[in-house]
Amino acid sequence: MPYDLIIRNGRIIDGSGIPAFRGDVAISGGRIVEIGRLSGEARRVLDADGRVVAPGIVDNHTHYDAQVTWDPLCTYSCYHGATTVVIGNCSLALAPAHAEDREPLAGVLSRVEAIPLEAIRAGVTWSWETIPQYMDALDRRLGVNVACLIGHSAVRRYVMGEASQERHATDDEVAAMKAIVREGLEAGAIGVSFERNFRHFDWNGRLAPTNVAADEEIFAVASVVDEVGRGVIQCGGDRDLGVRIATSSGRPVFYGNITQQAIAPNRWRERLAETESLQRQGYRAYQFVMPRPGDLRFTLKTAQHFDTMPTWRSVMMLPLEERKRAFRDPETRARLHVEAVETPPNPNLGGDFTRRWDLCFVHRPALPGHQDLKGKSVAQIAGEQGRDVLDVFLDLALEEDLETVFERREVNSDEAAMAALLTSPHMVIGQSDGGAHVVFRTDYSYSTYMLSHWVREKGIMSLEEAIRKLTFVPASLFGLYDRGLVRPGMAADLMVFDPETIGPLEPEEADDLPGGATRRKQLAQDIEWTVVNGEVLLEEGEHTGVYPGKVARSGSPAAAAAG
């Protein structure tokens, strides 16, 4: 019998971390069947000479819950080699849902994760009530594999209705939630997610349901994964709660992410030490690190970055013409200077402006005559011109009618700190938030950024190690035991790419959301083929028209066979 597919002559990087080797990969029935120098026939042959054949990326923290129902490819993660995405994070999900829960669930997902509500309303065709029904509905048409976490906010809403955003649960309600979580896990959901973030509101200014829960409820609902003996726990927003869950559960617990921040330069070290210490004690406590630098772009038309400073806040609230007058007024400017240049930042004040004018760059000058300033920091320009930083900043913006696009590079921008985090065996690479914050962020390109910037350009780790961290590690931690390795018997999820040229392309704007809303689109170059369950999903970045994805259900193949 011929194989379904052979990928010939590739440099196989199998995801385990062992050195790359030359060979062919044969696939039949959606699984890898042989690896080596193979002579058998195949219905389709791909020549991967000069290319790397690696497991597909496991995009381990996304919010495609709504989008996947109208976009089974989960764009744009799939363009960066993702063959599996994890949805249902941060307590947010679209199942279970009574008919009357649909609008509230859409609203909270939209508000918390910055997904246009019109897109969810126009795009989602609700055809499920329970979690197993939702997974079955997805299973009918998927481009990539989707692994589902059970969202506590959705479960709480389903059990408690409006009261889910108002009060603690009764014992009976907690028992009902536990039963729903158990049913979801037994149907193959890969875990349960919570959030404790008192800034996560719906469009009516009410807290998302999970935030109203008492600790006892969260611990009770989380304990179902231990009872079932399968699944992970994700809990964002409150590290203390996350650590307490991690030290009371035997399951993997994802309790946050570590960022390097200019405002608190040593905080990442303390957070890394904490995770390391928990893991050394035997707890399965994990945090994510995002390889991409934060690129907060703003203009003085809409920026909220200065809101912690009183004069700035009141000036930024003024209508545009009055605001420009205020920026020109010497007295006001003197006060703005005291606040944004002379006063040191307060690291304990959430989101305080860092006063790091050396990390505030002119991203896109509006006037042709200012193009030489592009890419320079405000501090650098001030130095060159012998002027004050605030005068440089405000005068440039005023000359350009506040159209100048600035960029703050203060998060994940210190390369030494980032190299330490990314190479640490205690950190998990990811948390792309794919499908969320669609207007501003493109962190779903983290995989191609990792392979181009950190591996090829900076050489902080070998390609083999980077692939292991992007595939085998997350597949293992999330219980996806038949993915994340190029090995006979494993699902044939593969990416074939040119290691010399792979990388993310410049972001652009796309207006492809249902209802016409726009989002930020970033594609990648030189991923030749992306293979999902043995079928070529993307060829040179183009969808081939097939839908080979599956709901990736938890549990080992052996456990499934044992029934």
> Shortest gap between Cβ of 267 and Zn ion (angstroms)?
20
CA 468 to chain centroid, in Å, comes to 18
* Amino acid residing at 234: Q
When the beta carbons of 10 and 191 are compared against Zn ion, the nearer one is 191
Q: Does 211 bind Zn ion (CB under 5 A)?
A: no
> Shortest gap between Cβ of 149 and Zn ion (angstroms)?
10
Quick one: angle between helices 320-328 and 330-337, nearest 10?
80
> Shortest gap between Cβ of 112 and Zn ion (angstroms)?
8
Question: Which is nearest to 309 in space by CA: 359, 354, 261, 265?
Answer: 354
> Shortest gap between Cβ of 245 and Zn ion (angstroms)?
16
> Shortest gap between Cβ of 92 and Zn ion (angstroms)?
7
When the beta carbons of 93 and 473 are compared against Zn ion, the nearer one is 93
Site for Zn ion in 355-414 (CB under 5 A): none
> Shortest gap between Cβ of 211 and Zn ion (angstroms)?
14
- Burial per residue of 358-376, b for 16 or more beta-carbon CB atoms within 10 angstroms, e otherwise: bbbbbbbbbeeeeeebeeb
Site for Zn ion in 414-473 (CB under 5 A): none
The backbone torsions φ and ψ at residue 236, rounded to the nearest 5 degrees and listed phi first, read: -110, 165
> Shortest gap between Cβ of 496 and Zn ion (angstroms)?
30
Site for Zn ion in 14-43 (CB under 5 A): none
H or E segment to which residue 222 belongs: helix 215-228
Pairing state between β 52-55 and 57-59: unpaired
The residue number whose beta carbon is nearest to Zn ion equals: 90
> Shortest gap between Cβ of 61 and Zn ion (angstroms)?
6
When the beta carbons of 60 and 89 are compared against Zn ion, the nearer one is 89
H or E segment to which residue 288 belongs: strand 285-289
Reduced to 3 states (helix: H, G, I; strand: E, B; else coil), residue 6 is: strand
In terms of DSSP H, where are the helices of 249-309? 267-280
CB 377 within 8 A of CB 361: yes
Chain length of the chain: 563
> Shortest gap between Cβ of 436 and Zn ion (angstroms)?
6
Question: Which one of the spans 82-90, 261-269, 361-369, 533-541 is the region binding Zn ion (CB under 5 A)?
Answer: 82-90
When the beta carbons of 114 and 405 are compared against Zn ion, the nearer one is 114
> Shortest gap between Cβ of 443 and Zn ion (angstroms)?
11
Q: Residue for token digits 């997350």?
A: 474
Question: Which one of the spans 13-21, 66-74, 81-89, 288-296 is the region binding Zn ion (CB under 5 A)?
Answer: 81-89
CB 193 within 8 A of CB 88: yes
When the beta carbons of 60 and 522 are compared against Zn ion, the nearer one is 60
When the beta carbons of 60 and 448 are compared against Zn ion, the nearer one is 60
Question: Which one of the spans 83-91, 143-151, 348-356, 422-430 is the region binding Zn ion (CB under 5 A)?
Answer: 83-91
> CA 286, CA 271: separation in Å to the nearest integer?
11
When the beta carbons of 90 and 396 are compared against Zn ion, the nearer one is 90
When the beta carbons of 62 and 261 are compared against Zn ion, the nearer one is 62
CB 405 within 8 A of CB 297: yes
The backbone torsions φ and ψ at residue 397, rounded to the nearest 5 degrees and listed phi first, read: -60, -40
Which burial class, exposed, middle or buried, applies to 258 when counting CB atoms under 10 A from its CB (0-12, 13-18, 19+)?
A: buried
> CA 156, CA 162: separation in Å to the nearest integer?
10
When the beta carbons of 199 and 280 are compared against Zn ion, the nearer one is 199
When the beta carbons of 190 and 467 are compared against Zn ion, the nearer one is 190
> CA 152, CA 205: separation in Å to the nearest integer?
19
When the beta carbons of 90 and 263 are compared against Zn ion, the nearer one is 90
Site for Zn ion in 271-300 (CB under 5 A): none
> Shortest gap between Cβ of 102 and Zn ion (angstroms)?
21
CB 468 within 8 A of CB 477: no
Count the residues of the shown chain that bind Zn ion, applying the rule CB under 5 A.
2
* Amino acid residing at 425: P
CB 494 within 8 A of CB 529: yes
| The two structure tokens encoding residue 330 | 């010497």
> Shortest gap between Cβ of 433 and Zn ion (angstroms)?
5
CB 374 within 8 A of CB 362: yes
When the beta carbons of 289 and 538 are compared against Zn ion, the nearer one is 289
List strand residue ranges (DSSP E) for 115-231, in order. Answer: 145-151, 191-195
> Shortest gap between Cβ of 63 and Zn ion (angstroms)?
6
Pairing state between β 232-236 and 191-195: parallel
When the beta carbons of 208 and 222 are compared against Zn ion, the nearer one is 208
Binding string to Zn ion for residues 84 to 123, with x set by CB under 5 A, is what?
-----xx---------------------------------
The residues, any chain, with a CB within 8 Å of residue 474's CB and separated by 6 or more, are: 58, 60, 428, 429, 430, 480, 484
Contact set with Zn ion (CB under 5 A): 89-90
